[in-house]
Chains A and B, each alone.
Chain A
Amino acid sequence: MTIWLVILGVGVVSLLLRASSLVLLRNRRLPPRLAESLGLVPASVLAALIAPDLLVQHGQVNVLSVRLLAGLLAALVAWKTRNVLWTLVVGLGLLFAAQALGWA
């Protein structure tokens, strides 16, 4: 039941944000200061999602983790190729290899 409410809630919120200017506000414009802040949201939110996955293991901050190394290498690939597939292949490949070697 809760999962259906999550699906509905996320769906409604996403649609309303997409429709905000195109359908709902029509000719009203966002204040420039607000538009500037919104431009910073994707980078901030995504970084807050990524960093703990790379640096926190079993509740401890670990700056020597294989995941951090794999993430940094994947970031380099993403920067050079802008390709999601290559980013996934390189990052997961390094982690799999480290696990196979008993290092991760």
Chain B
Amino acid sequence: MSLSPSFWQGLRAFLPLIPGVLPFSMVAGIAAVQAGFSPVQSIAFSLIGFAGSAQLIASQMVAGGAPLLLIVGSALIVNLRFALYSASMLPFFGGVSTPVRWPLAYLLTDQAYALTMGRPSSATDVVRYYAGAALPMWLTWQVGTVVGALLGTHIPATLPLEFAVPLSFIALVIPALRTRPQVLAAVVSGAVAVAAHALPFRLNLIVGAACGIAAALALQSVRPGQARK
């Protein structure tokens, strides 16, 4: 794929997000090392998984001694949104060959997706704009997790740095709450997850999310107009 003005537009659009992505990726690197990953494993996790929320959750579950299948199942649930992004990006990928589609799919993140959907009308080549936003996102994430993985064991245990993990999630979820069903889903899910906190292996996560989604779907079927606030 050759570079084009659209690629550089996408790249420039990503630059203001770096100060937000970098600390989040450092927290992911630190969390993995503190959960018992070696620095090499932590870096490999970022390269192979490249999924912020899933990396953080998996690290916490490894630290809690959860079984492998449950960890991978939780990553599946947390990353289901990628299937949604993948479906809504498909119309732009008309002339793109399969060998190019794989790496472009691998680069799909919340940030690259949001930038591409909000691109200016002057970005005529959507796929190259997307690639321009997605590549520096990948690089920023990798640099941040390497730094976090190398710092991880040197951070005193008295610092409540693990609190940066829920704070990172708060920073992600608040801008994502756009409709009333989404807000209801979040409130119900959070309340159930707290009520069910005594369940082993963070199963309260799955029970809470299922109840939240069920509540929001029930609201949508009772009042269909609420779906688009």
- Identify which of B82, B190, B198 contacts A48 (C-beta below 8 A): B190
Q: Is the interface of A mostly helix, strand, loop or mixed?
A: helix
Q: Decide: A19 and B193 in contact? CB cutoff 8 A.
A: no
Q: How many A-B residue pairs lie within 8 Å, measured between CB atoms? A: 269
Q: Are B197 and A13 in contact (CB under 8 A)?
A: no
Q: Shortest distance in angstroms between A77's beta carbon and chain B's nearest beta carbon? A: 8
Chain A residues with CB under 8 Å of chain B are: 2-11, 13-15, 17-23, 26, 29-30, 35-56, 59, 61, 67, 70-71, 74-75, 78-79, 82-85, 87-88, 91-92, 95-96, 99, 104
- The B interface is mostly helix, strand or loop, or mixed, namely helix
Inter-chain contact A47/B193, CB cutoff 8 Å: yes
Chain A residues, CB < 8 A from B213: 37, 40-41, 44
| Interface 9-mer from B115-123, B146-154, B173-181 | B173-181
Report B-chain residues with C-beta under 8 Å of the C-beta of A38.
80-81, 83-84
The residues of B that contact A87 with a CB separation of less than 8 Å are: 167-168, 170-171
Say yes or no: B164 contacts A3, CB within 8 Å. Answer: no
Asked whether, in the complex, the Cβ of B164 is within 8 Å of the Cβ of A23, the reply is no
